[in-house]
Amino acid sequence: KKLAVFVSGGGSNFRSIHEASKRGSLHGDVLVLVTNKSECGGAEYARNNGIPVILFSKAKGEPNGLSPSNLVDTLRKFEVDFILLAGYLKLIPAELIQAYERSILNIHPSLLPAFGGKGYYGMKVHKAVIASGARFSGPTIHFVDEHYDTGGILAQRVVPVLANDTAEELAARVLKEEHQLYVEVVEALCEERVVWREDGVPLIRSKE
Ligand code: GRF
Is the pLDDT confidence value at 67 over 90? no
Mean pLDDT of 125-139: 98
Q: Which candidate in 108, 126, 142, 179 is catalytic? A: 108
Residue range 150-169, pLDDT digits in tens = 999 999 999 999 999 999 99
Average pLDDT over residues 98-118: 97
The answer to whether residues 118 and 89 touch, using CB atoms and an 8 Å cutoff, is no
Whether residue 144 is predicted with pLDDT greater than 70 in this model: the reply is: yes
Taking the centre of ligand 1 as the mean of its atom positions, its distance from the CA of residue 196, in whole angstroms, is: 26
The model's pTM is 0.95
Beta-carbon contacts of 70 under 8 Å, excluding residues fewer than 6 positions away, are: none
**Which atom of ligand 1 lies at the shortest distance from residue 7's CA?**
12
Per residue in 188-198, pLDDT (tens digit) is 999 999 999 99
Q: Model ipTM?
A: 0.97
Which pLDDT does position 15 carry in this prediction?
98
Ligand 1 pocket, residues with Cβ under 6 angstroms = 7, 9-14, 86-87, 107-109, 139, 175, 178
| Centre of ligand 1 from the C-alpha of residue 208, in Å | 31
Q: pLDDT tens-digit profile of 18-27?
A: 999 999 989 9
Nearest CA to 68 out of 26, 97, 107 is that of: 97
Sheet order of strands, 153-156 included: 53-55, 29-35, 2-7, 82-85, 104-108, 140-143, 153-156
On the question of pLDDT at 123 being above 70, the answer is yes
Residue 62 has pLDDT above 90, yes or no: no
Q: Which value, in Å, is the radius of gyration of the alpha carbons in the chain?
A: 17
- Establish whether 108 is a catalytic residue: yes
